Amino acid sequence: MHIRGIRGATTVEEDSERAILDATRDLLQQMTQSNNVESDEIAAILFTSTPDLTAAFPAEAARRLQWATVPLMSATEIAVPGAPPMCIRVLMLWNTPRAQEEIDHVYLRRAVALRPDLRSRRG
């Protein structure tokens, strides 16, 4: 068993609690479905959001999925000129026997521009 990282990102159209939590929930669900992840296999999740998103912590979306025992942390993404605005990024640390090359990373909405080299089967 190894700890592997699953990357994902999405964007929202407005800085509202509903937009942030809905987009984050959709991203988390696609990340877990694409990789057949069970919540008790998740070691931890790090969420970042761009400085223009302040209405909610993206980690709250995981709590609403009943992932009460998964360690979660939200942080602000650094403000790099030209980076996509209103963007939420996720790094899910997963206990799995799979090789890193077998991991399906999920990029949704305008975030697909972040990593065109990591094509998701679901994205």
Helix and strand totals (H; E) in the chain: 2, 5
As a whole number of angstroms, the distance between CA 12 and CA 14 comes to: 6
**Domains, the chain, with CATH or none:** 2-113 (3.30.1330.40)
Joined together, the tokens standing for residue 113 give 């521009």
Dump pLDDT digits (tens) for 36-76: 999 899 999 999 999 999 999 999 999 999 998 999 999 99
Read off the pTM. Answer: 0.90
Amino acid letter for position 37: V
pLDDT digits (tens, 9 = 90+) for 11-42: 999 999 999 999 999 999 999 999 999 989 99
